Structure 1
Amino acid sequence: MSFLQKKLGLYLDLIRWSRPAGWLLLLWPTLGALWVAAGGFPGWHLLSVFVLGTILMRSAGCCINDVADREFDKHVKRTAQRPVTSGAVSVKEALGVGAVLALLSFALVLTTNRLTVALSFAALAVTLIYPYAKRWVSMPQAVLGLAFGMGIPMAFAAVQGAVPPLAWLLFLGNLCWVLAYDTEYAMVDRDDDLKIGMKTSAITLGRWDVSAVLLFYLIYIGFWALALMPYALGAIYFVAIGVALVQVAWHYTLIRQRTREGCFKAFRLNHWLGFTVFVGIAASYSLP
């Protein structure tokens, strides 16, 4: 293997290229908001901007996160071999890769409008803050939820040139979804995080973690169902909501014993829940 091939492999590992679940969790609510804002298919330009921008910014976020957490990650089983933590990629390299990806994403945003560009700065600020929130905030997953939800107001801004109250309702609902799946993720590392003094929702919630995850899921689905009800999306959307609720019940069976394997599986499967809700929205607008 050549030097360049080896470096490319390390950079792809740095941005979690082989694990697309992360950017899919960002993508589905963003696309759902894009379809609602446009009243259907938003056009190839905006679809391309938001799909590519989501992938690029999630990848940039991974670079920032790994640099910020490199000393903590050494003590966590799941993260000890990440490229920055292991020393295979230097801090300077990781920050350089992250900067290039963020600039490419910003170039895409510049093809939209001023409000969307302004919101992209807010999204970047929260992305930069999140890795350090885990040191000081008892529920850092809420900060992640702010970062992961910024695609929703940006989607409305790009289509309508404004961010209506509906966008913020969907944003709040999505925040609860992030709290649900990232608490599942935190439950995987709880033992290690307790040893190194990291703050997570799984630690803060304690024995109420499973109940809280279920509540967060129900609030998310309830917010999206009720907020979009006046838009008469039709029966197919509510069938999708029903399928999403079935998935929530399945997640309960995976996390109720709090095993690492069960909690990690539940986290990895969350993108299917988001996909289900998005399909319900897109299909409703597609039908006559």
Structure 2
Amino acid sequence: MQFVSINDVVIRYDVAGAGDRKPVIVFINSLGTDARIWDLVLPKLTDDYTVITYDKRGHGLSDLGKPPYRIEDHAADLAGLIDHLGYADVILCGLSVGGLIAQSLYVGRPDLVRALVLADTAHKIGAAEMWDERIAKVEVEGLGGMVDGIMQRWFTASYRVPENAAYQGYCNMLLRQPVAGYAGTCAAIRDADFTEAAKNIAVSTLCIVGAEDGSTPPDLVRSLADLVPGSRYHVIENAAHIPCVEAPAAFAAVLRDFLAQLPGE
């Protein structure tokens, strides 16, 4: 576990895997989670790739910064982290808001991006009114009253059972995120729209979605894939909004297949 100050925000990050000899993958976590959502996927990749995980501002062990945020704030933090580590031509793998951050980074710093994996995300997620309602609710009530509804979108019914200790663990992860960081990132999602920018993505792109995703359903993710020239689209069965948790082997296999077909591999 390492820390660095970027844009006056302390960011927690980790680097693991095969070192500079192999392609570098940067994983970007979703709203209300931290980098641990990738823990079941990383061991299936680190023999062959260098992997970077981090907590975006307002989440995990990273600083809160000054919410509300813009997606560009999150992207600038990530660009600063990649520059700090001395990498370029990285593969960005962003889940949900992480996918919006990946798209924003590509727009602002295409020199850093070799390929995109856009998981359970879209060019635009939700209407402004919905996000304003969620921000107002969480600022008044906290995250406790929202857990059940959020978990219904994050995970399938078969995962959300009392005997699954991991499910309770991910409930705890959500509950322990800073309310201001959660609400601030909701504002960033509300204001982000990459509908036009997606049409100009010129790197290899894979769009992945869990078949039962309740936040960014397959049809929405498919609409993103249709915008990105030459992109690939894949549905992961028996998973909802966070397939890297529910179906890590399937997620890693799809990712490996995509990476193996990148130019130069």
TM-score, length-scaled by structure 2: 0.31
Greater per-residue strand proportion? 2
TM-score, length-scaled by structure 1: 0.30
> Of the two, which has the highest radius of gyration?
1
